[in-house]
Structure formats: structure tokens, C-alpha cells
Amino acid sequence: MAEFPKILSANWDVENSHTLDVYESRGGYGAMRKALTSGGMSPDEVRELVKDSGLRGRGGAGFPTGVKWGFVPDTDKKKYLLVNADESEPGTFKDRYIMDFDPHMMIEGSILSSYAINANDCFIYIRGEYGWLVDRVQEAVDEAYAKGYLGKDILGSGYDLEMIVHKGAGAYICGEETGLINSLEGRKGQPRIKPPFPAVVGFLDCPTIVNNVETVAAVPWIVNNGADAYKAIGTEKSTGTKLWSVSGPVKRPGNYEVPMGLPMKELIYGEDYCQGMLDGVELKACIPGGSSVPVLTAEETLACNIDYESFAEHGTMLGSGGCIVIGDDASMPELLKVVLQFYHHESCGQCTPCREGTGWLDMILDRMLRGEGRPKDLELLDRIGNNMMGTTICVLADAAVMPAQSFVKKFRDEFEALLPEMEEPEEYIPTTSAAEMPR
Amino acid sequence: MAKITIDGVEHEFEEGKNLFEACAEANGEKLPHFCYHPGLSIAGVCRMCQVEIEGVPKLVIACNAAVRDGMVVNTKTPRVRSTVQNILNFHLLHHPVDCPVCDQAGECSLQDFYMDHGLYDAEIDIDDKIDKGKVKPIGDLVMLDAERCVLCARCTRFTSEITKTHELGIFNRGNHSEIDVAPGKTLDNNYSLNTVDICPVGALTSRDFRFRKRVWWLDVTDSVCPGCATGCNMTIDHNEGTAYRFKPRENPEVNDYWMCDHGRLLYKRIVTDARLEHPTVGVGERREQSWWERAYRRVLELAESRTLVFAGSPHATLEELYALGRLAEAVDGRWLGARLSGTETGEGDDILFSADRTPNAEGIRRLGAGEFTVEQLREAATQENVLVVLENDLAGLAAEDSVLDGFAAVVTIATDGTATSDRAEVVLPTLKYAEKLGTFVNKDGRAQALNAAFPGPAEARDTIRIVRDLGEVFGHTFAWADTAGVRGEIASTVEGFGAISGGIGPQGVALDAGSVQPTPSGGEEAQA
């Protein structure tokens, strides 16, 4: 694999990398100066640059960031940037590294992103379980304010930006952008029906862009180095680098910044990355992009590259980059149970198919694992899944169905082993004939 | 206008019109739904109204879609039907099968849609159903059976958007989600029973109506609430001469889809112990049950060498007030007025409930029938005068029992025994609003029609008939014989009432603004 510049993780190993001094000593806030000081860049120029770079949303959906910014209408209404730090997709632990080791990169990226959409207010929505990160990010925001990088008239540019760090209460669904908006407004964290889309009617009914931490963190580098430099990394449709959180029985689990297009084989077995499976464990399967994407068999895993197209080709998704490696010592039904229990617990309960379906899937798998499964349970699981897919406001239902259906499809023998043999139904023999019935 | 094809038939609707409403108009029936309600915001959670729009890969919920020119919508394809069927299955998954003891049975969306789209066996065991509790009183009038709830969020939207009282919420998540009252609150606002109406299933039931009547036995008659000057459109749901409940009837000009609890519970005042069922003659110990001709003759006797003084009522219909006014003219009587000033008011709100608690005050104003004060009443109370009072407990309203004592006699056309009827020499029993035809004019000048749901007591007579009969007794024949006749005469002779000449439909008719008659022989004159 060719050498590539570290964009997101360059400062992680530096001592006190979370402080403003260290960040600036390594060129930090240079992109902001470049864009905001006189003769710098207009908001439209920043947006076009990011659009041109091919940067795609790193929260899971992979929607082109610059295009999303372009949906913000040119109105007199206030505009908001909400940075989604509600990282809660099981298997994903990348944003926390950025916030822990390089919070200023996220802040600088947020300033540039806010500037690009003409927002003067930016919220960082951090999941409740990341309590210590709220403090860390808040400290960094305070430092930036003290230095005049936030607040009124940043660097004399005339551009104002207020940044507020908000701590969520710990619900998976608040990572869905409209759920996040509801939560931030003080409502129950439940996704909103679309249309209208948040870019038009979002936070406090104003145009709102919700971007993932990793997405905004890539913006300073793009502003500094240009779109072409970013596009030079990765593949045609998947540009730049991606943080890849690897968990499971590999020798070196952890966060890796990988160039898009890196073969999964290289990631799992490469010297620079995970260095192979633990001794005595063979690769059985892999969930590449967080627990909600379809699982891959070992063979499929090794045939995939880390880019949007390659995963799509193999029927799964790049998602958030929460890569869960599964060894041959793991039971797929038990693993699926953990996944389904999670979605059952986290369904907000608004839409009927998801509210009832996630619980029903969990219930069926639960009885199978207790040895009380019924002959047609696998068909039932599949049918419930089909009826949940695509019928709800947000994609939480799909997120539960995709692992459920792919686990059963690809590892059917493990599930069938839990079920009783199919039996012919007993013939019904009435014990009392009609003539003998009491009158 | 936008051309749109629904199930193969082309229709024209306004661009941007709600697609659910468009489909309902096009097909003459609503798509299956639980959460959609035209009076509330769009929740989009029940997922039942999904339709196929050509060119859109996923099915779309019609309630959150808008009509666009050239749209091709299919609501009955196998894909739509199977989706709806399967979503209904999710709704029914944990629903208890207690229809035999559920008050909603017979008017339950879940039952209806199951018959249309379901018809499959239960897919989970009864022991696996989630128990969310039963029979929880959440207010004076509303009972919650959370296990029947399909979480359509209509009731929570009602309390947050219409009453803005926020008593109800959905608590918990996932399939443990549950409707309940917020901690420390009870559902006790004056509109609480609307949540029962809009609940598509039996989760919220009326504690007042519960277990009193199976809904399929109820006959439904369109009427107007007599509880205040707003005149909410309603239905009287009744069986064998007894009203069991009032329900709001949609009218965007008056009450939208709602009605207050105060008005709803007035059905209890139709059948009363105090109901006057026979004409009587005599006061106190001399009172005896009589027959109509004798009662009429007694009025004639009383009028000999005395003046009849007439008082109407804001509870009487437009036709009754007009007819009584004509009678007053015919017998050379005096018209006192139709309302005792300053009575029957209370606190209103800015939703529906009016401070004026009478249904026809505006009718009085527009007829020019006038008001009178207690002083005027007292001055009129002389031995030369006989008071004829229609449906009004003047003694009770004046809070002065002796105010009527000065009259030589009192004649009352009334429905219930009151302090006034106790003092009446002649009592002529008449019909209540649920038993007769008539018109009320609400505070916004909208004429709205009453219909007879059931007959009154066998011997009670319609006021119009009583007035006509009295006219005959006094040697005067009126041109009209019934309510419709009186209404026709009002329309053609009284300025400002032309709008009702073509009849009054179920939604009422707006009268011309500012068509107020000068008081013909009203209060001032009586004083003079």
C-alpha cells in the first residue's frame, strides 16, 4: 500500500495533543486563518472545495458532504450546524479518539463547516456516556474562545460563531439526525418525519446541517491541502481516509486511519494494522461498518476493500467504520442475540413496525436460544424482517433487520441447529364423537 | 390545480393538497390509518396509509405526502395490501383480544381494518403479550387501558396542540412504550372526552359511557349543543328514547372536530325526574293534572280584563321566539323580552366554551326580541298582568322567589319543574331540544338546525303547536302550522334571515352580518 498522509490521526501520539498550544504548534487553525482572513475564502468557496474533494458523511450514510451543505436554502432564517458526536453504533469508537486526542481539529472543522453554510451557531452533541469527553471538548472550546477563534468577529473577519457543547442522555436514536435535533430542542429523542428535511426545516425550524465528528474533522486538511490532494487518496468514489475501529479477536484491535480502497485482508493481517487473528482463532465473519450492516463471511471479508463501492458490491455497507471481526469460536446466534437485544432496547417506539418488530425478532431468537424454538422460526424471522424494512420513519428498523437476515442467511446451519426437527402435524382425533356429546 | 391519477382514475386537486385527503375524496373511503387526524399535526407513525407512487421506489405514507401534478398513485396493489396487512399484524401483536368487553367494539378502527386487511390468526402466544395494565382512571371522565393502545399519539397530540395542557405523554421506549398521564397530573381539562373520540381503539374510554350501551344499538341524530353560545355541532347517540352520549360532529366553521365536556354531559339533563309530562292547572295544593283544552281555556279566562305579558328565553328556538312574539301581538299583550339580563354566564375559554351559556342569545338579538332586567320584571308584576313565560325559570334566575308573586297569574310553557313552574297557574309541558325541530343562532351569527332524535313525553306538545293552539283559543289563526312554516315566515319577513329560506343544512347557514332588528315591543316599551 502506498504511503498516504495521516489526516485525522496525525496528532494522536503527540503529548498533550488535546491542547490548543500543541495543536497550533503543529499547524492547527491554519485552515481557519486561510479561509477567514481577508482575501481568504468565501463560504461558497469552502463549500465548493469540500464538494470537489468528494468527502462523504462519515456517520454511516456516506452522503457527499458538500452536496448536503448545498441544500441549505438562502433565507433570512438562522442556520445551525450540529456536530453529531453521539457515536453509539455498536463497534464504533472513532469519534471519541478525535475528541479525546484532537478536539481542536474538530472545532476548527466545525468553524469552517459553519462558515460554509453561513451558520452563526454550532452545537456539539456528545452522547451521555462520553461524560469525560464533554469536559475535554468544553475545555478546548473555552481555549478557542479565549484565543478569539470563537465568538464575535473571528480574526477580524466579521464572522461570528457561538459554539455550545451539549451532553445527550444516552440514546442510540439520538444519533439519527432528526432524533438529535428533537433531543437538542428538549423533546423526546425521536426521529422526525421527512419531508421536510433538516437542511430546510431543522433545529428550531431553521435550516440545519448535522455532520459527523469525523466528517468535519477532515475539513481543515482539505482547506489546507486542496481538493485534489484529498482526492489523490482512495478510490474514485471513495476519497480520502477513513477511521476504522477494529474490535474482535485480532492481535492488535484499535483505531486505524486507512486510505480508502485498502483491502480488508491488509487491514486484518497487515503488519501496519491488526497483524492477524489471535493464535488459535480463525476468521469466521466480519461486520464491517457497525452492527447495523449486513455481516460478511470470511471469504467475502477478504475479498472486500474498504471503500463504499466494494462493500456495496458484496451486499453490505461501509457504515460508520465500526469493524467487528468474528472468530470461529463465536456463536453467530448468540452474537445476533446481542445485536437484536440492542435494537429492541433502543427502538424509540414511534413507528409500529419497528416498535413491535424489533421486540418480536428479539423474542424469537431468545426462545430459540432457550431451546424453545419452533420449526418455522427462521422463516418467521425473515418474514418479520421483510415487513420492517423500509416501512418506518428512520432506518433503525432496517438496522435491526440487516444483521438479522444476513446472519441467518449466511450462517443458517448454526441457527437450524437450535430448532427442533420438523414434524408432521399430528392427526386430530376427536376423543368424543358427536353422538356421545352431552345434550 | 394538479392532475393526479389515483387507482387508474384521473382526478384534479389543488397542488400540495394532503395526499391522504385526496385519496379519501377520490375513492370515497379513507385509507386505513390510526395516527392521521385532520385536526392534529402529522405524526406518521402508524404506517398504515402507505401507498405506491410511481417513480418512488419505497412505499410512501399518504398522510405526509402532497399532491403533485402528474402523480400516479396506487392504493390497492398487492404490494400495498400486503404491506398494510403486515403492518396491521404488528399493531395487533400485543393487543389483547378483549373485544367482547371493550366499549370501543363496533366503532374500532382496529376491528374494521382487521376485517378489511387482516383475517389471520394470532402469531404470538397469549403469555408472550406485553402486559401494560388495564382500567386505569386518568381523569374524572377518562379510563385508560394501555394494553389496547396502538400508540398513534393522537391523544398526546390533542393535549399538546389543542388544549395545550400536556397531561398525556408516551413513556418508555420500544415495545414498552406506553400512554400515561404525566406524573402528578390528571386528565381533567374541559376537553378530555375528545381524547376518547379520537382514540381509534379502546385504550381511552369514557367513564361516563362505559358499559352503558353497545354502540351498534345507538341511533345517531344530528343536532347542536345547547350548552353555550358556540353551538358546537354534535350528534345525539340514543336508543329507545334515551340519549347515551353526545359526540362532536365536524364543522370547520364552528367546532372543527371537538366539543367540550360540559356540553357533552348535558345529555343527562334530557331525561329528568323533574320532567313536566302533563298540562296542569292551579297552584300549590289546588294544582291538578289537566287536559290541553282545559288548560288553554284557563289561559283565556286569566286574560280576561288583564294583559298578557310575554317573556321568551335564550334556550328557546328562533321559531318559538318568533311565534310567541306573534302571539303577543295577536292578543294585544306586552312583550317583555327574551332574556333576563346578566344571567346564565360563566367563564369561557379561547377554544370553544363561551362565557354565555345559552344557545340562542344571538338569535334573540337578531330577532330583536330583547332583554329585560329584574326591575322591569318586578314593575310588570301587577294584578293587571298575567305573565306567559317560555322555557325560563325566571324565579330561579332572579334568585328572588317572590319576584313573580305580584302577577295576577303565571302561565309557563316549560319542560322541567322549576321555581317558576311551581308558581304557575297553568303549566303547558313542551319538548326539549332533542325532541323537536328548530334553529339556534350561535354567537357568530350562524343558524344551525336541531333535529328530533326521539319523541318527548306522550302528552307534551311542541311549543309551536302550543302557540298556534293558544292563538286559536284567542280567535286568531296563524299562517303557519309547524316549525318549518314559522322558519319560512321568518326567512321571508324578518330582515337578515333570508339565508335560511332554502333550509338549514347539517353545517348550518351563516346569517348576514349586522342584521339586527330593532326591538319591536321590547324592554324599553314595557318600561314606558
CA–CA dist B399, B416 (Å, integer): 18
Q: Which of A334, A241, A343 is nearest to A6 (CA)?
A: A241
Give Cα separations from A321 to A90, A98, A214, A306 (angstroms): 10, 14, 11, 9
How high is the pLDDT of residue B528?
A: 31
- 3-class SS letters over A19-75: CHHHHHHCCCCHHHHHHHCCCCCCHHHHHHHHHHHCCECCCCCCCEHHHHHHCCCCC
Q: Using a CB–CB cutoff of 8 Å, tell me whether A312 touches chain B.
A: no
- Side chain identity at residue B223, one-letter code: S
Q: What is the pLDDT of residues A60-92, one digit of tens each?
A: 999 999 999 999 999 999 999 999 999 999 999
Give every CB contact of residue A280 below 8 A, 6+ residues apart in sequence. Answer: none
Looking at the complex, report in whole angstroms how far the Cα of residue B17 sits from the nearest Cα belonging to chain A. 15
Q: What is the pLDDT of residues A136-146, one digit of tens each?
A: 999 999 999 99
Mean pLDDT, consecutive 10-residue segments, chain B of 528 residues? 95 96 96 97 96 95 96 96 93 91 94 85 85 93 96 97 96 94 95 97 96 96 97 97 96 97 96 95 94 97 95 97 97 96 94 96 95 94 96 88 90 96 96 97 96 96 97 96 96 94 93 63 39
- Residue B174 and residue A344: Cβ atoms within 8 Å? yes
A9: Cβ contacts below 8 Å, ≥ 6 apart: A97, A102, A243, A255, A257
The three grid cell numbers given for residue A175, joined into one nine-digit string: 444519533
Conformational region of residue A348, where left means phi above 0, alpha means psi within -120 to 50, and beta covers everything else: alpha
Chain A hits for B46, CB-CB cut-off 8 Å, are 351-352
- Identify the burial level of A42 via C-beta atoms within 10 angstroms of its C-beta, where 0-12 means exposed, 13-18 middle and 19 or more buried: exposed
A423 pLDDT tier (thresholds 50, 70, 90): low
Chain A: nearest CA to B112, how far in angstroms? 18
Record the cell numbers describing residue B377, joined without a space. 320584571
Nearest CA in chain A to B79: A387
Least CB–CB distance from A391: residue in B47, B123, B172 = B47
Q: Is B45 on the interface with A (CB under 8 A)?
A: yes
Q: How far is A106 from chain B (nearest CA, A)?
A: 32
How close A413 comes to chain B (CA, Å)? 25
The residue of A88, A340, A352 whose CB has the most chain B CBs within 10 angstroms, and thus the best one to mutate to test that interface, is: A352
Question: How far apart are alpha carbons A22 and A14 in whole angstroms?
Answer: 8
Residue B339 amino acid letter: R
Suggest the residue from B35, B85, B87 to mutate for an interface test with chain A (most A CBs closer than 10 A). Answer: B87
Mean pLDDT confidence for A245-255 = 97
Residues in B touching A351 (Cβ below 8 Å): 44-47
At residue A433, does pLDDT exceed 70? no
Q: A193 with B63: CB under 8 angstroms?
A: no
Q: Please tell me the distance in Å from B503's CA to the nearest CA on chain A.
A: 44
Closest CA to B507 of B499, B516, B497, B496: B499
Judge whether B89 is closer than 8 Å to chain A, CB to CB. yes
Rounded to a whole number of angstroms, the distance from the CA of A232 to the nearest CA of chain B is 35
User: What's the pLDDT score for residue B524?
Assistant: 39
By C-alpha distance, the chain A residue nearest B123 is: A380
Chain B residue numbers with beta carbons less than 8 Å from the beta carbon of A360 are 90, 93, 124
Residues A115 and A43 sit within 8 Å (Cβ to Cβ): yes
pLDDT interval class at A429 (50, 70, 90): low
Q: Are A399 and A388 contacting, i.e. CB atoms less than 8 angstroms apart?
A: no
Which chain B residues contact residue A186 at CB under 8 A?
A: none
- Between A and B, how many CB-CB pairs are < 8 A? 84
